[in-house]
Structure 1
Amino acid sequence: MWADRILQSDLAHQLVDSGLATAAQLEEISTAWREWAAAPDGWLAIPHGEILCRA
């Protein structure tokens, strides 16, 4: 999923169009995501939360 998103998304186009990344660099990132996903000990956590406070 992330390996595809870094190549085929609005973010990918924005990064290349703005000069912040090249297509080759995005390919490297995509390859790294795929290698990580294939690793037996690779895992990802994306915690979501909410902070409530009173002033």
Structure 2
Amino acid sequence: MNVDRRRRENGAGDGLSEGERTELARLRRENAELRMRCDVLKRSLALWVEDSRGR
């Protein structure tokens, strides 16, 4: 095993282990998806309120 890979796996460098970096990437993707869903719901609610007031 080379030194760079061993350092990455042991968390040297950025302070995160390989597993933590993997989890961080997954959580960032999940966070982006949840933000997008929240934005869609807010826009849908705004359209629904606008439509219900217009009738």
TM-score above 0.5: no
Q: TM-score, normalised by structure 1?
A: 0.39
Higher relative contact order (CA 8 A, sep 6+): 1
Bigger proportion of residues as helix: 2
